[in-house]
């Protein structure tokens, strides 16, 4: 399997022997786009982007947007192979946690000055484009986690949606008293469980890197986060079972799970599986916190390759996709949440009891740093969290292991 490390050592397959960051090739003007633009998009986005691209082509009749749908499970390796072989499209969609890996290879052109106003995006979302101080591309859509909870069970227990850690523990206990086997469903470690534990550290004022770029897992906030996370398993408030897609929805509907953290897609899933009557039995709330209520932010970004065949039209398409009205149209097609803050003023978001909470949470959400080694570092967090959740080690030992392993791995910058 081709690795990103190999890409960096070989100069990304470009034959110049250099892995230094490319420079922007200049500003993009306001003239109509022309020529063919090839874009790779993953999952559902790849299946429906043609519908939105047709509107761009109406405004730019000499442009032709060609969308290639790429399955998520093969996308990472396909991008890596294309970079190494010099056979990249003009634009690719990226998972936000991939930006550090691929950005470090020199494969992407920095976002041209003046293309977009970064202040119009949610800060946590814009940060996902930045590698070592340079932005590569733009945030296309955003995702964040909020707390889904059974309102009927909470009402019967006489509790409200928790706002603090202390309230959260009591809330989960109240859900168990109402018959739930898990007052809150939390993954007991395993793949991508870092997305659940990391916000607990952020909520205590901790972070992944210090201001000078060193790993900060030895901060007390991380030990507190692991101890708090483990307390739900230790106190019988969360079953040490990872619920996969389909399972958590049904257990939530059946009342076996009183609450869980997830993104906006679960609103429609619960409507489909529980029916319209069930919509009155649950609500969403901002995540409970300590010194703050920070949640994880993810989503999808768009990046233009440094050797794009049609750079000008590629960036014009990216700019068009970043306009508030385009993002609203994209939501209608895909249900992807806008990365541009002003789009959230539209009644479709502002007046929706579920979506409005996601907009509020996005104002206090954060992503991990875009470092090339994040996949390796986060895997250690997943591993150690599982040991803590299952009682195989304590929080202090786990955090010490993470700090030592992360320091050994390095940031790759």
Q: Is the pLDDT of residue 18 over 60?
A: no
What CATH number does the domain located at 146-294+370-409 have? 3.40.190.10
Q: What's the mean pLDDT in 192-201? A: 97
Residue 4 pLDDT: 34
Give Rg (Cα) of the chain: 22
Work out the mean pLDDT of the chain and round it to a whole number: 94
CATH, domain 31-143+297-366, list 3.40.1440.10, 3.30.300.30, 3.40.50.300, 3.40.190.10:
3.40.190.10
pLDDT at 16 over 50: no
Average pLDDT over residues 42-46: 96
Would the pLDDT of 5 be above 80? no
In this structure, how many other beta carbons lie within 10 angstroms of the beta carbon of residue 268? 11
Dihedral angle computed from the Cα positions of residues 159, 160, 164 and 170, in that order, rounded to the nearest 10 degrees: 20
Where in the chain is CATH 3.40.190.10?
31-143+297-366, 146-294+370-409
Residue 245: per-residue pLDDT = 76
DSSP reduced 3-state for 303: strand
Q: Which segment of 33-37, 241-245, 307-311 scores lowest on mean pLDDT?
A: 241-245
Indicate the pTM of the whole model: 0.90
**DSSP secondary structure code for residue 250 in this structure:** H
Give the DSSP H/E element, type plus range, for residue 141.
Answer: strand 138-144
The pLDDT of residue 7 is: 40
Q: pLDDT-based confidence at 12, cuts 50/70/90?
A: very low
Q: Is the pLDDT of residue 411 over 70?
A: yes
More confident residue, 14 or 91: 91
Residue 358 CA to residue 372 CA, distance in Å, equals 29
Strands 35-42, 63-70: pairing kind: parallel
Which pLDDT belongs to residue 25?
87
Residue 404: is its pLDDT beyond 60? yes
- Give residue 413's pLDDT: 80
Average pLDDT score over residue span 327-337: 96
Tell me the C-alpha distance between 330 and 324, whole Å: 10
CA distance 380 to 194: 9
- Mean pLDDT for the stretch of residues 15-44: 83
Over residues 317-339, the mean pLDDT reads 97
Does residue 15 register a pLDDT over 70?
no
- Pairwise CA distance, residues 273 & 265, whole Å: 13
* pLDDT the model gives residue 8: 36
**pLDDT recorded at residue 21:** 62
User: Residue 138's pLDDT is what?
Assistant: 98
- Between β-strands 295-304 and 365-366, what pairing exists: parallel, antiparallel or unpaired? parallel
Evaluate if residue 13 carries a pLDDT over 90: no
Model pLDDT for residues 114-141, shown as the tens digit of each residue:
999 999 999 999 999 999 999 999 999 9
- The tokens 């809330």 sit on which residue? 171
| Angstrom distance (rounded) from CA 359 to CA 295 | 12
State the Cα–Cα distance between residues 412 and 92, nearest whole angstrom: 23
3-state secondary structure (DSSP) of residue 150: strand
Q: Is pLDDT of 1 > 90?
A: no
Measured N-to-C along each axis, helices 165-177 and 220-234 cross at an angle, to the nearest 10 degrees, of: 10
pLDDT(77) > 80 = yes
* Mean pLDDT of the region 189-208: 97
């Amino acid at each position: 399997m081709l690795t990103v490390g190999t890409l960096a050592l070989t100069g990304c397959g470009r034959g110049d022997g250099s892995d230094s960051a490319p420079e922007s090739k200049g500003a993009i003007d306001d003239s109509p786009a022309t020529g063919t633009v090839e874009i790779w998009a993953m999952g559902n986005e790849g299946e429906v982007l043609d519908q939105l691209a047709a509107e761009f082509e109406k405004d730019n009749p000499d442009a032709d947007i060609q969308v290639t749908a790429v399955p998520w499970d093969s996308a990472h390796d396909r991008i890596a192979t294309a970079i190494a072989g010099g056979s990249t499209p003009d634009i690719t969609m990226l998972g936000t946690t991939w930006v550090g890996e691929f950005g470090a290879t020199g494969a992407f052109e920095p976002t041209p000055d003046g293309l977009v106003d970064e202040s119009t995006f949610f800060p946590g979302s814009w940060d996902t484009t930045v590698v070592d101080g340079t932005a590569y591309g733009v945030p296309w859509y955003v995702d964040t986690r909020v707390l889904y909870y059974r309102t009927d069970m909470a009402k019967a227990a006489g509790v409200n949606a928790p706002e603090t850690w202390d309230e959260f523990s009591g809330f989960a206990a109240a859900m168990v008293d109402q018959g739930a086997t898990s007052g809150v469903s939390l993954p007991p470690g395993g793949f991508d469980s870092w997305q659940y534990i990391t916000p607990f550290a952020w909520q205590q004022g901790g972070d992944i890197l210090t201001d000078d770029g060193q790993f900060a897992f030895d901060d007390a906030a991380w030990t507190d986060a692991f101890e708090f996370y483990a307390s739900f398993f230790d106190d019988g408030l969360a079953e040490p079972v990872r619920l996969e897609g389909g399972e958590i929805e049904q257990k939530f509907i059946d009342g076996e799970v009183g609450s869980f953290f997830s993104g906006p897609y679960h609103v429609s899933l619960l409507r489909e599986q529980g029916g319209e009557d069930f919509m009155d039995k649950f609500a969403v709330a901002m995540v409970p916190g300590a010194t703050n209520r920070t949640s994880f932010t993810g989503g999808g970004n768009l990046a233009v390759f440094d050797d794009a065949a049609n750079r000008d039209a590629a960036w014009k398409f990216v700019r068009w996709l970043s306009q508030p009205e385009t993002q609203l149209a994209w939501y209608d097609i895909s249900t992807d949440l806008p990365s541009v803050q002003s789009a959230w003023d539209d009644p479709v978001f502002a007046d929706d009891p579920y979506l409005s909470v996601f907009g509020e949470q996005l104002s206090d959400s954060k992503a991990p740093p875009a470092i090339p080694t994040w996949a390796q570092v986060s895997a250690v967090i997943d591993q150690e969290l599982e040991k803590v959740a299952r009682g195989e080690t304590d929080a202090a030992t786990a955090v010490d292991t993470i700090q030592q392993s992360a320091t050994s791995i390095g940031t790759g910058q």
